[in-house]
Structure 1
Amino acid sequence: MTTNMAWIVLVIAGVLEFIWAAGLKQSEGFSKLWPSVFTIAVMAVSFYLLSLSMKVLPIGVSYTVWTGIGAVGSVVVGYFFFHESMSVMKLLCLALIVGGILGLKFAEG
């Protein structure tokens, strides 16, 4: 796998991370069957893709980018789908996370 492909796989894994986080909320503590099944399946794929990216990218970069994408995506999903609050401070913090992710990408090459 090339470095560019590893980055693509990592971004997909990160997107799946916030999808499974939303599924986790929908499962209500794994008390609802189908949201729980969906969440576990998406978790497995997300972890697998993360592990594939780690074959090429360093662990610190891979894991940090994966959790950063998941964190930003979870806040956005929470705002739009679960009517959670948003503030200027939250937006600033999200921008810092995105800046960190981009910094790691461009520092890695």
Structure 2
Amino acid sequence: MAWLILVISGVLEAVWATALGRSEGFTRTGPTLVFGGALILSMSGLAWAMRTLPVGTAYAVWVGIGASLTVAYAMAFGGEQASLLKIALVLGIVGCVIGLKLIT
């Protein structure tokens, strides 16, 4: 159950990071509210998962999921330029996250 909560929390990290960028310095209400809600849920889930998972592993997985999804979303919808090298590097992050799950 801790791994499922951790994955969901990682997805929510990507949500709050994207919403933070779209909030334009907290001047737009909708993205600011999404940021706040996703941040609270993401951090709460991370904290809950860390009760049973090793702290370093949990944090690395959480960051890896959030960073990978944030970059993927930005490349698909946010105007960030995609390249084969950038995609390969993001896939490397995903591979490392999977590796941490397999050895834990």
- Normalized against structure 2, the TM-score is what? 0.96
Q: CA deviation at 1:82?
A: 0.8
Name the structure 1 match of 2:16. 20
Per-residue Cα deviation, 1:21-67 (whole angstroms, up to 9, x for no partner) = 11111101212122112101110000000000000100100000000
Structure 2 residue ranges without an equivalent (≥5): none
Q: Which runs of 4+ in 1 moved over 2 A?
A: none
Please tell me whether residue 91 in structure 1 is matched to residue 79 in structure 2: no
Letter in 1 for 2:24: E
Partner of 2:60 in structure 1? 64
Please say if 1:50 is aligned against 2:46: yes
Q: Size of the alignment, in residue pairs?
A: 104
Structure 1 vs Structure 2 CA RMSD: 0.8
Shift of 1:81: 1.6
Relative to the length of structure 1, the TM-score reads 0.92
Unaligned regions of 5+ residues in structure 1, if any?
A: none
